[in-house]
Structure 1
Amino acid sequence: VYHLRMPDPADGNGTGDIAPVSTLPWATPWRLILVGRGLGPIVESTLVTSLARPSIVEKTDWIRPGRVAWSWWSDQDSPQDHDKLKKFIDLAAEMKWEYTLIDANWTIMKHGTIDDLITYAKRRNVGVLLWYNSGGPHNIVSERPRGMMYFPSIRQQELKRLAEWGVKGVKVDFFQSDKQNIIGLYHEICRDAAEAKIMVNFHGCTIPRGWQRTYPHLMTMEAVRGEECYIFDAEYPDRAPAYNTILSFTRNAIGSMDHTPVAFTDNRYPHRTTYGHELALTVVFESGWLHFADSVESYRSLPRAVKDYLKEVPVAWDQTQFIAGYPGRDVVIARRKGDAWYVGGINGVATETTVHVPLSFLPAGKFKMVRITDGRSDREFRSDNETVTADQTVTIPMRPFGGFVLRFYHGWF
């Protein structure tokens, strides 16, 4: 028996009614249970978005998924420092990433202004995304800018201003409630952002509910304990390897997930995942904006094969295929963009394991396969390439808490 539970009265700083209300005629959203023969249909399903209302956006040429250089994880004070942020713009340009995110408190800027950064990013062909506090009375978080996304007239004016500046998107944070008033706020932000042609990322938010179909400029949502927890939670490193294998079958199965992965260096609480595990999250997880969490120095120091991979890996996919795995143990997923296929696999347990990847998802013909795995230690890479065909099976040993990526494309032979 499943029961629907109303929000807690204290949610949203005590604001908003617990019970929803509506005018007649009243139509409720879909409630669904995904059931399949095996785990593949769960991972591959698009049912959540398929049941949502059709898109309200007619022309979508301004909506562009992409990779994002993000400074906050490696340096929480960096969004207030023009010179530090400039380095992340340079990183994005070097890595051919489409965007950089300027996180909380960018309104308190030293060594320059936000206008200077936007101008510089335009010269380097890097799109700028800006962070906003969603509050409003529903949270007491003091990070700025605050109050710009809650009140309709102010929000509309602010989004118009961002469009005039050339800003590409916003990250709106700290919703802290699933009461009807806050669910309505999500929709209002998406509608106003569509009018201004500004893309959106929700953080500190509810789970995906298919809204990416209705609002295709909603690029991703958090609703997950991502790599920020290496800063806040001492227990997270021990839980993360198995937890990451669970997410493909649960949270990420219902919509894009802003996990902010692929951090190779340690934050306050050190990783137990290997370098190969972290790299594989580019494929194992799906997000319309993929925020790379680590520092400029970390990405610049990577081996050439890994940097080349990170310059090419897509974030918007044409096809997804579950290969193998079980929640809490391991997972291997293949995804296609155009003619190129990518495979990511991660090990969630503390013992070595071997996975077998049948290449039957490939079309006929010869493909160049680039393979990047863990090296001789948890914090080393190994890479090689070979020519393969669809009738082959690739066997890959994974280190404890390890991982790998494969890239297939037509190339020289």
Structure 2
Amino acid sequence: MKIPNNLRLIVNMRFYLTLCSALFLVNCSSKTDHIEMVYGQTGTSLFQLKNKQLAYTVKKEGQMVLDTSLLGVTIDGKNLGSNSKISFLNQDKVTLKYALNGIKKMADYKGNIHSYEITEADGFKWKLEFQLSNDGVAYRYKVPGSGSRTVLGEATTFKLPESTRVWYFERDSDWKLKSHAGEWLSADISEMPTVSKMGPVQGLTLTCELPMGGYALLAEAALYNYSGMRLKAIGNNSFKANFTEGDQGFVVDGTITTPWRCILLADDLNALANNTMVASLNPAPNSELFADTSWIKPGKSVWHWWSGKYVDFREEQDMVDDALALDFEYNMVDDGWEAWEDKWKKIAELCSYAQDKGVGIFVWKHSKEINFPENDYTIMGHFLDSVKQAGAVGVKVDFMNGQDKYIIDFDEALLRKAAERKLMVNFHGCQQSSGEYRTYPNEVTREGIRGLEVNHMQEGPLTASHNAALPFTRYVTGHGDYTPLGFTEPGETSWAHQLGTLIAFYSPFNCIAENTQFLLNNEAIAPALNFIKSVPTVWDETYVLPQSKIGELAAIARKKDDDWYLGILSSGSSKEMTIDLNFLKDGEYSAEILADDIEAQPINLEGLNKEANLRQWNTAIPFKKLTEMVSVEGKVTIQLAANGGAAIRFIRSKVEVK
């Protein structure tokens, strides 16, 4: 059979391109050679610059998200990635489906992992891994070796497009990078080297609004046996990896596997809020350690601190009674219980009292008192043994105040040892989540967030714009212990805004700030009491309404069983909002609406909370309760006060089957 010339040309060209591609993957050593990786609309190019430095770019739907950005790590004074040859190793599929306690019932994650061998000029070999998915791009360095080795930093950079708007957290003290409890603000990428009086180093995460549309979020995942990464703005629209230890570096024994450096990608805020890449890059839970997870139970907790009950034993018994009255699952016993006379006997008595009422006890501990690595953290183990023996169900460990390797090692040891004793963990005074809760599901919440307790402090209160930014910044990578609901000290926000935070923010262990007696006995709160009692802490689905805009409006719908909940947090002037109910399923729903009562007299806050520092915010807009029948075809229109909000529960009507 005679092959037509045009077909012969096509066949020859395909053969030629295949051969060139294979030869290229074996030996890539010049700036003109690029290894292209693609998954759906996500693309990454790996190559060398003219000076043989490793670099990469990231594209989404053909648009540049990260321009030429550097790769490399420095170990024992050797700059790996600065004069290297790239050899392709393999490509594998990643398919994961696993249970989540948070924004959705199940995470369904698919991607490809590409592995490369990097050979240095002296023959030393190490691995570079990329993972691509519809959720974004991630990469990490794997450097073999033995003995103690010092990581002196990374060449890792992220170069964003001009006119990118970057959301970062800010605080006017060095606590900014100790506790990650800053206010979420935004600036043009060009301003980032000088925007903060605390310097050019920013903590993760950074949410980037891209000039061509869509979002990129810079994060890390699987932070174990390494120092936590910060990002230094170095000009030229770029951030470079930065570590607490600075020039002295940090020591890692044996093979060094860095955390994943992540660029999460999303076309809209719904996709961003539902992104599970960070959790999915963490290892699955140990099948033996977590063979039984029935002891890990989401729920709400009462907490004395907001109301000034400073851990008196009798008052903590009263808090247990109030937890029962509120249908809350837990009582968080904070700092001070260890000053009780015969403290372990007393805490055991409290735990027994609470257990009889179906309430679990969490106890507080300062990290410095148990952070001794000797003999596999023996002192920590003894403390946790005592907690378990006393009958508590979890611990709140506070004031890690950093993310150097010493602290990260402590965090993992605590999660592991707590799991061995079937104890849940709440981290405070810590960095943001890097998805650790997938590997250690006994981490039921962590701070690393500027939460409501700031309203009690001189530097407070929180702004409405901060709240309206949180679902699209800090909460993207994991749960946050914001300690929501502060009617008696809401700052510039309305009471309906405060109610909306119970839905818009998520935490499997949701520690409620407000004075329990105020919740139970104030007539103005009574119409919302059933909602406060019944609102879940984990969800089956999450949907972000399209009107949402970072820092201006967060409208988050979440589903639990047959019902939907909608939390709305508004910043700025009053406005009317029409809500399309297309996220509901078929059928009719009774909509219980808790919305700003803009025609009512403002609530006088003076005297409602003896601990409050109200400043000029001594009144608040109250809420009103409305009920109407709705369906998926319908709409609901509400009025939002200045810095207002709403909380709506859509209760699906039960249809009898005849």
1:179 to 393, 404, 416: 404
Matched position secondary structure for 1:360: coil
1:242 maps to what in 2?
465
Q: Distance in 2 between matches of 1:106 and 1:23?
A: 38
Pair 168,2 (structure 1): closer, same or farther in 2 beyond 3 Å? same
Q: Distance in 1 between matches of 2:348 and 2:243?
A: 44
Q: Does 1:2 align with 2:257?
A: no
Matched position secondary structure for 1:101: strand
Largest Rg, 1 or 2:
2
1:373 CA displacement: 1.0
Pair 89,18 (structure 1): closer, same or farther in 2 beyond 3 Å? farther
Q: Distance in 2 between matches of 1:223 and 1:111?
A: 33
Whether the aligned pair in 1 keeps the contact of 2:348 and 2:391 (CA below 8 Å) is: no
Whether the aligned pair in 1 keeps the contact of 2:541 and 2:558 (CA below 8 Å) is: yes
Pair 65,282 (structure 1): closer, same or farther in 2 beyond 3 Å? same
Whether the aligned pair in 1 keeps the contact of 2:555 and 2:567 (CA below 8 Å) is: yes
1:214 to 435, 439, 446: 439
Q: Which amino acid aligns with 1:312?
A: S
Within a 5 Å distance, the mapping from 1:147-162 to structure 2 comes to 147=370, 152-162=377-387
1:49 CA displacement: 0.6
Q: Distance in 2 between matches of 1:25 and 1:412?
A: 58
1:191 to 416, 419, 424: 416
1:253 CA displacement: 1.1
Whether the aligned pair in 2 keeps the contact of 1:52 and 1:214 (CA below 8 Å) is: yes
Matched position secondary structure for 1:125: coil
Within a 5 Å distance, the mapping from 1:64-79 to structure 2 comes to 64-75=297-308, 78-79=310-311
1:337 CA displacement: 1.1
Q: Which has the higher strand share?
A: 2
Q: Distance in 2 between matches of 1:347 and 1:50?
A: 31
Q: How many residue pairs get matched?
A: 388
Q: Comparing 109-118 with 33-42, which one deviates more in the overlay?
A: 109-118
Whether the aligned pair in 1 keeps the contact of 2:347 and 2:390 (CA below 8 Å) is: no
1:290 maps to what in 2?
510
Moved over 4 A (4+): 148-151
Whether the aligned pair in 2 keeps the contact of 1:256 and 1:287 (CA below 8 Å) is: yes
Matched position secondary structure for 1:320: strand
Q: Distance in 2 between matches of 1:147 and 1:59?
A: 26
1:282 CA displacement: 0.3
1:98 maps to what in 2?
329
Pair 153,396 (structure 1): closer, same or farther in 2 beyond 3 Å? same
2:363 maps to what in 1?
130
1:409 to 640, 651, 655: 651
Whether the aligned pair in 2 keeps the contact of 1:7 and 1:18 (CA below 8 Å) is: no
Q: Distance in 2 between matches of 1:163 and 1:35?
A: 42
1:219 CA displacement: 0.6
Q: Over aligned residue pairs, what C-alpha RMSD do you find?
A: 2.0
2:480 maps to what in 1?
257
Q: Does 1:365 align with 2:564?
A: no
Within a 5 Å distance, the mapping from 1:23-34 to structure 2 comes to 23-34=253-264
Q: Comparing 165-174 with 22-31, which one deviates more in the overlay?
A: 22-31
Whether the aligned pair in 1 keeps the contact of 2:502 and 2:567 (CA below 8 Å) is: yes
1:120 maps to what in 2?
353
Whether the aligned pair in 1 keeps the contact of 2:270 and 2:544 (CA below 8 Å) is: yes
Q: Distance in 2 between matches of 1:96 and 1:219?
A: 19
Q: Distance in 2 between matches of 1:287 and 1:297?
A: 23
Whether the aligned pair in 1 keeps the contact of 2:445 and 2:508 (CA below 8 Å) is: yes
1:142 maps to what in 2?
none
1:230 CA displacement: 1.4
Q: Normalized against structure 1, the TM-score is what?
A: 0.89
Matched position secondary structure for 2:491: coil
1:149 CA displacement: 7.7
Residue-by-residue CA offset, 1:230-260 (whole Å, 9 max, x unaligned): 12234x22x5211101111100111101011
Q: Distance in 1 between matches of 2:380 and 2:470?
A: 33
Q: Comparing 38-47 with 209-218, which one deviates more in the overlay?
A: 38-47
Matched position secondary structure for 1:48: helix
Q: Distance in 2 between matches of 1:149 and 1:385?
A: 56
Residue-by-residue CA offset, 1:358-394 (whole Å, 9 max, x unaligned): 1111111111111111222334221021211101111
Identify unmatched segments of 5+ residues in structure 2: 1-237, 603-619
1:263 CA displacement: 1.0
1:108 maps to what in 2?
339
1:278 maps to what in 2?
498
Residue-by-residue CA offset, 1:320-375 (whole Å, 9 max, x unaligned): 111131122111000111111110001111x1012222111111111111111122
Q: Distance in 2 between matches of 1:34 and 1:348?
A: 26
2:542 maps to what in 1?
320
Q: Which amino acid aligns with 1:284?
A: A
Q: Which amino acid aligns with 2:359?
A: V
Q: Distance in 2 between matches of 1:271 and 1:111?
A: 40
Matched position secondary structure for 1:122: helix
Pair 359,26 (structure 1): closer, same or farther in 2 beyond 3 Å? same
Matched position secondary structure for 1:364: coil
Whether the aligned pair in 2 keeps the contact of 1:345 and 1:405 (CA below 8 Å) is: yes
Q: Distance in 1 between matches of 2:372 and 2:624?
A: 46
Q: Does 1:168 align with 2:393?
A: yes
1:333 to 549, 552, 556: 556
Q: Distance in 2 between matches of 1:165 and 1:285?
A: 32
1:110 CA displacement: 6.9
Pair 122,221 (structure 1): closer, same or farther in 2 beyond 3 Å? same
Whether the aligned pair in 2 keeps the contact of 1:82 and 1:110 (CA below 8 Å) is: no
Q: Distance in 2 between matches of 1:296 and 1:319?
A: 29
Whether the aligned pair in 2 keeps the contact of 1:132 and 1:148 (CA below 8 Å) is: no
Q: Which amino acid aligns with 1:78?
A: Y
Matched position secondary structure for 1:3: strand
2:96 maps to what in 1?
none
Matched position secondary structure for 1:181: helix
1:130 CA displacement: 0.5
Matched position secondary structure for 2:441: coil
Whether the aligned pair in 2 keeps the contact of 1:199 and 1:218 (CA below 8 Å) is: yes
1:195 CA displacement: 0.2
Q: Distance in 2 between matches of 1:34 and 1:291?
A: 29
1:39 to 266, 269, 284: 269
Q: Normalized against structure 2, the TM-score is what?
A: 0.57
Matched position secondary structure for 2:260: coil
Matched position secondary structure for 1:32: strand
Structure showing greater relative contact order (alpha-carbon pairs closer than 8 Å, 6 or more residues apart):
1
Q: Distance in 2 between matches of 1:38 and 1:410?
A: 28
2:315 maps to what in 1?
84
Identify unmatched segments of 5+ residues in structure 1: 10-16, 136-145
